[in-house]
Copies of this chain bind each other. A is one copy, B any other.
Amino acid sequence: MNIGEAASASGVTAKMIRHYESIGLIAEAGRTGSGYRTYGPKDLATLSFIRRARDLGFSIAQIRDLLALWQDRDRASADVKRIAAGHIKELTAKMRQLQEMVMTLQHLSSHCQGNDRPDCPILERLASGTGDDGGACCE
């Protein structure tokens, strides 16, 4: 199986497969006589694993650990769960940050007339940091 086929079968681009190989996330692929990389079912499974993990937002470092656990028959599921828990925590923290930004922006935006006049609470807030701070006020 060529890298192109492995890419479309796993959903990981050929570029990224080479990249993952270069950083040691996956083992070096076998080669044909002319230098083409070859992939078997096992490699495909690994690539698909990586892709699903990326889809869940795991970092390469985390995936490295997950792969090691996956390939360790004597793993403890607690180790996997711990990685997942840490990741959930990170994601939740990011979400909360975004949430705060959105709330502030929505609040400012709701007080911006959005017309031809120049006065705008959004700019005022960016300019001075004072003024409306997003707290409850009128709803």
Contact = CB atoms under 8 A, between A and B. Distances in A.
A80 B129 contact: no
A22 interface: no
Interface residues of A, number: 53
Interface stretch (A1-9, A27-35, A83-91): A83-91
Copies of this chain, complex-wide, total: 2
B85 A109 contact: yes
A interface SS class: helix
Interface of A: 45, 48-49, 52-53, 55-57, 66, 69-70, 72-78, 80-82, 84-85, 87-88, 91-92, 94-95, 98-99, 101-102, 104-106, 108-109, 112-120, 122-123, 125-127, 129
